[in-house]
Amino acid sequence: MEVKESIKFTAKIYNFLSGLGMPVSPIELSQTMYVISLTTPADHAALKRAVIPILARNREEYQLLHQIFDFLLATADDWDKLGSMAGTRRIDPLLLRESAPTIAKFMDWASRPDLFYRRLQELYVELHTRYEDRMLNSGYLLLAEALELDRPERELVVLGKALELAGWCPEDIRTVTSAIENILAFLRRALSEFILNASKVTGLTTTLHSHEPKSGEKELWNIPLSFLSKKDIATINDIVRRMALQFRDDVRRRQYGIATKDVSIRQTFRLNAGRDTLIQLGYSKIKKLESPLVVLCDISGSMRNYARFFMQFISVVKDTFKKLRVFVFVSGIEDVTRLVHTKPGDELIDRIFADYRAARSYTDYGNVFRQFTAQYLGTITSKTRLLVIGDGRTNYQYPGDEELELLKKRVKDIIWFTPDEQFSWYTGDSEMNLYSRYTDELFVVRTLSELKTALQSLLTV
C-alpha cells in the first residue's frame, strides 16, 4: 500500500477505535502504519493478519477487532463519500433537529462511523440476549426497526417543507433530499455488512454475546495462545495431550508398523490402573525417532502459554525420541530434561516456573546461545536436531548470531517456532529476520492449529 494510503487508513482506524473507547498508543500507531504500508490494499486477509496482533491486547479485543476490520474494509470507501455529501452541510442544525431528528442522527453517523458501529453493538447485544440464535435469522429487521431506519421517509417530507419555508429553492431541496436518501441506503447496506460479519466471527465474546460460545473446542483452534483464559488453558491442555498421543501413534505407525501382536496387555493395564475405562494402549516395544532432539524453549512472560502447551506435548511424546534434552531460558538456560521425564504435563510447567528463578527476568538470547555453546556444544552431533521456541525479541541486547551460526554448522538442522508473524520481524527489538538465516525450518505458531502443523516437522527422521 502506498504511503499516503497507509497514513489515511491508519488515521481512519485510529479515529474509529478511539471513538469506540479503544485508544491506540503512538507506538501501536507507528507500527500499524508501517505494516499497512507493506500490504496490498485488496488483500484484506493479509491486512487483518498484519494489524490486529499489534492492536489487540487480549482475546476479547482480538475477536472484536476481527469484526471491526471486516466491517470497516467492506464499507470504507462509502464512509468517505458520505462525509463529503454536497448540500447537507448547509442545513441549519437547529432546523434539522427540530424537523427531522432521526435524519440528524443519521447524518452524525455519516461523519462518525464509530458512533453507528457502537450503537449497532449495543443493539446487537440486547437483541441477541433476548432472541439468542434466532436473532441471526431475523437480525436485519430487528436492528433496522431499533435504528429507526423506517422513519426518514416521513421526516424527509417534513424537512422539505421546513427548508421551503426557510427560503430554499426546489433544486437545492432535491439535492439535499437525494443526499439523505443515499445516506439512508448506505446505512441499510452497512447494517447488512455488520450482521454478516457478526455471524462469521467465531466465538464472539461477551463483548457481543451474553452467553458462552456453543462450538465447544472448535473455536479454540484459531485463537492466539497468548489470549487464552484460565478456562481455555485447561481445555487446550486436554486437546494438546490428545494431539500428542496421536503424534506418538503416528511415529509408531510410520517407523514400526504396529500390529495387534505389539500391544502389551501388561503395559495396557499398568497405564490405565485406576481408570474406569481403557483410554491408552501399552505397547511391548517402540521404535524411536533416531535423530536426537535438543529443545531450547523461551519461558518469558510473552511466551508462557506457548511454553506451557509445548511442555505438555513433549511430556507425552518424550519416549518417541531416542535421545531428548530440554532446556528452558529467559536470561540464561536451565536443563529441565529430568523434569520432562519424571513429571506429567499438568505439573511440569508449574514446577519449571517455580524452580527457575530467572523466569521473570528479561530475555537475553545472546547470553542463552553463549551459555549453551560453552556448556553443551560437545554433547551435540551432526545427527542432532535443534528446536528453538521463542519470539526472537532480545531487549536490544547482543543477539548471539555468531553462536547460532556455530550451532548451525554442528547440528543436522535447526527448527524454530515463533509466535511473531513475519511483518513484525523488522520492528522493535525483534531479531527474527536475523535468526531466520540460520534456520532450516521456521514456523509462525500463534494458534493451536499452527502448533499442530509445526509439530509435524518433528516427524521427519
Radius of gyration for the chain, computed over Cα atoms and rounded to the nearest angstrom: 29
CA–CA gap between residue 110 and residue 115 (Å, rounded): 9
For residue 180, is it within any domain? yes
Whether residues 407 and 271 share a domain: the answer is: no
In a domain, 127, yes or no: yes
**Do 195 and 230 share a domain, yes or no?**
no
Q: Which residue has the cell 465474546?
A: 205
Q: Can you tell me the mean pLDDT for 343-371?
A: 79
Tell me, yes or no, whether 232 and 151 share the same domain: no
pLDDT band at 320 (very low <50, low <70, confident <90, very high): confident
Q: What is the mean pLDDT of residues 423-450?
A: 86
Please answer whether residues 316 and 241 qualify as being in contact, where contact means their C-beta atoms are separated by less than 8 angstroms.
Answer: yes
User: Domain containing 172: what range?
Assistant: 56-214
Q: How many CB atoms lie within 10 A of CB 177?
A: 17
pLDDT of 240 reads 85
Mean pLDDT of the chain: 76
Cell output for 273:
490402573
Question: What is d(CA 202, CA 67) in angstroms, rounded to the nearest whole number?
Answer: 10
User: What is the count of structural domains for the chain?
Assistant: 3
Residues 107 and 178 in one domain: yes
Average confidence (pLDDT) over 141-162: 78
What's the pLDDT at 438? 94
Beta bridge partners of 295: 326, 387
pLDDT of residue 204: 34
Q: What long-range pairs does 439-444 form, CB within 8 A, spacing at least 24?
A: 439/388, 439/414, 439/415, 440/413, 440/414, 440/415, 441/413, 441/414, 441/415, 441/416, 442/415, 442/416, 442/418, 443/415, 443/416, 443/417, 443/418, 444/418, 444/419, 444/420
Beta carbons within 8 Å of 380's beta carbon, 6+ residues apart: 292, 294, 386, 407, 410, 411
Q: Are residues 134 and 184 in the same domain?
A: yes
Residue-level length of the chain: 461
**In the chain, pLDDT over 90 holds for what percent of residues?**
17
Q: Average pLDDT, stretch 42-63?
A: 77
User: Residue 450: helix, strand or coil by DSSP?
Assistant: helix
185 and 280 assigned to the same domain: no
DSSP H/E element including 142: helix 134-146
In terms of domains, do 275 and 413 share one?
Answer: no
**Rounded CA gap, 192 and 381, in Å?**
61
CA dihedral 421, 422, 424, 425 (to 10 degrees): 120
Q: Is residue 46 part of a domain?
A: no
**pLDDT of 408 above 90:** yes
Quick check: 151 pLDDT over 60? yes
Q: Residue 272: pLDDT band by 50, 70, 90 thresholds?
A: low
Let me know whether 137 and 82 are in one domain: yes
Pair 409, 269 in one domain: no
Residue 4 in domain: no
Strand order in the sheet with 441-444: 333-335, 324-329, 293-298, 385-389, 413-418, 441-444
CA atoms of 418 and 405, how far apart (whole Å): 19
Cα torsion 449, 454, 458, 461 to 10°: value is: 110
How big is the CA angle at 9 (ends 5 and 10), to the nearest 5 degrees?
115
> Residue 13: inside a domain, yes or no?
no
* In a shared domain, residues 268 and 342: no
324 with 246, same domain?
yes
DSSP-derived secondary structure letter, 287: P
Tell me, yes or no, whether 442 lies in a domain. Answer: yes
pLDDT at position 324 over 70: yes
Name the more confident of 92 and 84. 92
3-class DSSP state of 414 = strand
pLDDT of residue 396: 87
Alpha-carbon torsion angle 389, 392, 397, 400, nearest 10: 60
Q: For residues 365 and 271, is the Cβ–Cβ distance under 8 A?
A: no
Share of the chain above pLDDT 70, in %: 72
Residue 135 confidence (pLDDT): 45
For 423-443, the DSSP string reads GGGGSTTB-HHHHGGG-SEEE
**pLDDT given at position 203:** 34
pLDDT bucket at 392, cuts 50 / 70 / 90 = very high
Q: What is the pLDDT of residue 81?
A: 58
pLDDT, residue 384, reads 93
Reported as a pLDDT band with limits 50, 70 and 90, residue 189 is: confident
Q: Residue 14 domain-assigned?
A: no
The arithmetic mean of pLDDT across residues 135-161, rounded, is 72
296: pLDDT strictly greater than 90? yes
- What crossing angle do the helices spanning 365-376 and 401-410 adopt, rounded to 10°? 40
Is residue 307 included in any domain, yes or no? yes
Asked if 166 and 192 sit in the same domain, the reply is: yes
Average pLDDT over residues 31-53: 77
Q: Residue 382 maps to which CATH number?
A: 3.40.50.410
Q: Would the pLDDT of 451 be above 60?
A: yes
Least-confidence region, from 78-82, 290-294, 372-376 = 78-82
107-111, 286-290, 334-338, 439-443: segment of lowest average pLDDT: 286-290
**Distance from first CA to last CA of the chain, Å, rounded?**
42
Could you tell me which residue, 198 or 448, shows the higher pLDDT?
448
The confidence band for 224, taking pLDDT boundaries of 50, 70 and 90, is confident
Question: Residue 268, class by beta-carbon neighbours within 10 Å (0-12 exposed, 13-18 middle, 19+ buried)?
Answer: middle
> Which amino acid, 146?
A
